[in-house]
Amino acid sequence: MEIGGRRVSRGMLPLLALHTVTEYYRLPWKPPVTAGLIAANTLIYLRPSFIRPFIPSINQVWFNPHLIIKYMDMKRFFLSPFYHLGESHLVYNMISLLWKGVQLETSMGSAKFASMTVTLLAMSQGITLLLAKSLLLAFDYEKPFYNEYAVGFSGVLFALKVVLNSQSDRYTNVHGIIVPSRYAAWAELALVQILVPGVSFLGHLGGILAGMLYLKLNDGSSGSDPVSSIIKGVTGVLSLPLRLARNVFGSHQRRVSGRGRVGGSERGRTTSSIWRCSACTFDNSGLLSVCEICGTSRNGDANGLSAHRSSSRYSDDLSLEELRQRRMERFGL
């Protein structure tokens, strides 16, 4: 029922609210994306005064292949799933979303579930559009499908059902008929079409095909959903200049190796890693027992390098003053 542009519940929406609150109350973790989707669909249906100026009417968002293709109307393409014809239509879809969304979001996490839902929405709408155009070109089916008007979240729900049941070996009850879970979406497609002839057959079929395509793409991208793979790829490309700059500038940073540094501060060092020569004040690695510059031993003996020298330049009879002079010449001081 609609009063002054605002819909008034006939009793089913309070039941939906009670069912949702009860379900979330018993859950140890409350899936936020599922709750947000239910709230968004419900608010768009009720059209309260505070959001009415910001959302189009249902007449502006009907999914109609002819209008979408002719005018490139993306508003109809993306918004039509969030609109519903009546209270029973909304409540049935939202209860289905609650059951499927809680299981999927709990198992895969909110971020991946959100990206998957966006992907499935775009895929289901696109496949439905493609099917309608193909039927028009191949069989001239203009009135039944190409000029059909439809709204509702059921196409996305069929896609979610395919994903949810893809790995299940169990059986499920579809309107009183027991079928393998992985074929439940196909059984529901046929039964709904028989029991409710006015529903969008192409919309539901597009949802099933979108779910199957998503699983195929998901298998081909090593377990990550297509949107996440695209986001990771874009992030990698954008971060490439930063990584290159880090590598370039990082390679010019001063490094402390086993050769030590000249004239550095001893603050923060331990005698086990760095020791300072008493003769020439060079900081040597703790792995060395003699000074690398002047040959003075670690304990202060100026003849400590005699066993390690092979050049007459560093003979043992050099005085400390001569060693300091050669150190200055070596470093250009």
pLDDT (mean) for 181-197: 91
Q: Is 80 a catalytic residue?
A: no
At residue 235, does pLDDT exceed 60?
no
Question: So what's the pLDDT on residue 267?
Answer: 42
Q: What pLDDT is attached to residue 289?
A: 75
- Mark whether 308 is an active-site residue: no
Per-residue model confidence (pLDDT) at position 328 = 62
Would you say 87 and 16 are in contact if contact means Cβ atoms under 8 Å apart?
no
> If you average pLDDT over residues 298-304, what whole number do you get?
61
**Which of 204, 229, 239, 310 is flagged as catalytic?**
204
pLDDT tens-place string over residues 56-90: 999 999 999 999 999 999 999 999 999 999 999 99
d(CA 239, CA 230): 14
Interval 194-219 mean pLDDT: 92
Predicted confidence (pLDDT) at residue 125 exceeds the cutoff of 80? yes
Mean pLDDT of the residues in the chain? 80
pLDDT band at 183, cuts 50/70/90?
A: very high
pLDDT per position as a tens digit, 16-63:
999 999 999 999 999 999 999 999 999 999 999 999 999 999 999 999
Q: Tell me: the pLDDT tens digits for 259-283?
A: 444 444 444 444 446 777 777 777 7
Catalytically annotated residue among 124, 154, 200, 297: 154
User: At residue 4, does pLDDT exceed 80?
Assistant: no
Contacts 24+ apart (CB under 8 A), 30-37: 31/101, 31/102, 31/105, 31/106, 31/110, 31/113, 32/110, 33/101, 33/105, 33/110, 33/113, 33/114, 33/117, 34/97, 34/98, 34/101, 34/102, 34/105, 34/113, 37/97, 37/101, 37/117
